[in-house]
Chain A
């Protein structure tokens, strides 16, 4: 296994380094670095959106959740895809038409306020630091199971290898690398499911499914029924759906696509990839519970499967896919947070007249610094990987859904309304999580994400009603002339 893994890993690294170097020589300015020269088509774009969405949270966390809780976690995909459709119809085309470089750019222009944009940049950096914690923690779990090395070493290796391709080629290299990653993920998963089924029942896959279902039902009937009730599933689905409709690291990818039509088609392609991946991780998590009813931690299920159950090359590919999923998400998040610091904060407030070359350098330095902070949190093991991903999604939804989705489709939103919505949503979500969630969720089924988004929406509508509207030229970019509304 180790030899097979090393061969596959070396081949994979050779491919991504080749793409990175190729991209480096084609990156001349900030538009090339952050938006790939706006050249990405629907197939690569869809694969990129899927690869960005499919992170360690999916490969390690979701497989782990299905391992621990069985079938019912699968329903949250519906919330996620609803979020994608909201994005396809109400967000992606308008954002792509606007053609900025970052999401805070959109906030600044739409609401005619650089302060609102800077606040968005700062909140993005905070929230995505949480997301990186989940990625690094997943990397640590895989490294422990597969190589027996210390999680800190694994995390530093992930940072180093990801930083290289992020620093070299920006979005152009990461887009093509993520396309390769999606192919590997889908290919390995499609083969892994029958491979696991054949362990349980040989060529009789129907019999194996029936036997596995009966086995899990006899372990705990909630595994094949409802581990989570409707309240929890709605809360989880809302967290993912509302956040994905406004997730900066996904929205930034629309800017790199050719045009509005490409952005929308890329979303459909992405949902197709995700449907395949979603069904496969559900099956794999549950089958792993059949093969190994007791693992030390649910987050180890996918690494154990790849390393100890699957045929060598398939397992090695799946491990590479997992590591690359972590790397692609780390890469996407670093690009967004790096741009948040360099483009939205440094370029606008510290040195407004800085040259393109200088901004790219600051961006690259920010990426290195921002990649190191979450490692400390990851070493504390603050929860399972999926729980951390859910927390991050709640925050993104609470401060971004309203300014992005409602702001793009309701012309009366103002800068003060957007600032109030972001701060209020973030604050309400945080306070509810810390002080009320444990006591009030079981009684009323009210989750922090619902409280955060509702607070954000209320503040946006009320404050916008009583404050100065943005300049007409800001609105024209998104809504046309006033009479066209």
Chain B
């Protein structure tokens, strides 16, 4: 993720491209990337136990992770928090978000090696949204494998919805494989499905109303111009 200077950068790159120099400015060191993220949420009546494993290309010394902080909820790291790493500072509770700074363990010391991080935490209180920690490294579309799995929610339809969009597996688990890691999961609910349907109905109604309104205005305009042309 990069910021953009006030102007000129794109234009200078146009000039470079025209003179076939575009490649010369490429950075030598690639930033870390997210290769894989597997998040597993085990639900019971009072708590959601979350285990998250991240694999990264590159080995950052420290990694900052963020998650949405829903209201009326508590989040507690549990130990051992790591099979390959230890969080360096625990969870910081900020307004609206959780911040976790952790030290990934280098799994492969070869050049451009991989590193691994495992987090585990328990969420109690309101459980319709469960925080997911997002590392500050981007996924690569089409390459990064992300898997979010929810256990302990039996029953329901094969396409239960939720966020990100979950599907029900044959074993009765909920599974989502989005291209990017979200800052929370919203558990599928009847209300969520109703809202989705209401949104779809609303857009259809808006389109019909817009088209109908235009048609009515057009017809009125035609009648007016016809009346004007008849007037002496």
Contacts and interface: CB of A to CB of B under 8 A. Distances in A.
A208 B11 CA distance: 39
Contact of B214 (A179, A317, A382, A438): A179
A239 to B, nearest CB: 8
Contact of B200 (A69, A313, A380): A313
Interface residues of A, number: 77
B8 A294 contact: no
A96 B213 CA distance: 27
Interface string A175-215: 00001000110111011001100111011000100011111
Nearest to B165: A308
Nearest to A227: B3
Interface in A207-242: 207, 211-219, 231-232, 235-236
A290 B17 contact: no
Size category of the binding interface on chain B: 35 or more
A391 B7 CA distance: 7
Nearest to B204: A313
A290 B214 CA distance: 37
A364 interface: no
Interface in B153-185: 163-165, 178-183
Nearest to B183: A293
A437 interface: yes
Nearest to A199: B163
B28 interface: no
B1 A218 contact: no
Given A291-B183, A294-B1, A383 B10 contact: yes
A296 B35 CA distance: 12
A195 B96 contact: no
B191 A203 contact: yes
A136 to B, nearest CB: 14
A453 to B, nearest CB: 14
A257 interface: no
B97 interface: yes
Given A195-B199, A211-B96, A219-B66, A183 B207 contact: yes
Contacts of B14: 130, 377, 382
Interface of A: 1, 41, 43-44, 68-69, 130, 144-145, 148, 179, 183-184, 186-188, 190-191, 194-195, 198-200, 202-203, 207, 211-219, 231-232, 235-236, 290-298, 300, 304, 308-314, 317, 377, 380, 382-384, 386-388, 390-391, 394, 430, 433-434, 437-438, 441, 447-448
6 contacts: A187-B206, A215-B97, A215-B183, A294-B138, A297-B1, A384-B4
Interface of B: 1, 3-15, 17, 22, 66, 68-71, 94-97, 99, 128, 134-142, 163-165, 178-183, 186, 191-192, 195-197, 199-200, 202-204, 206-207, 210-211, 214, 217-218, 221
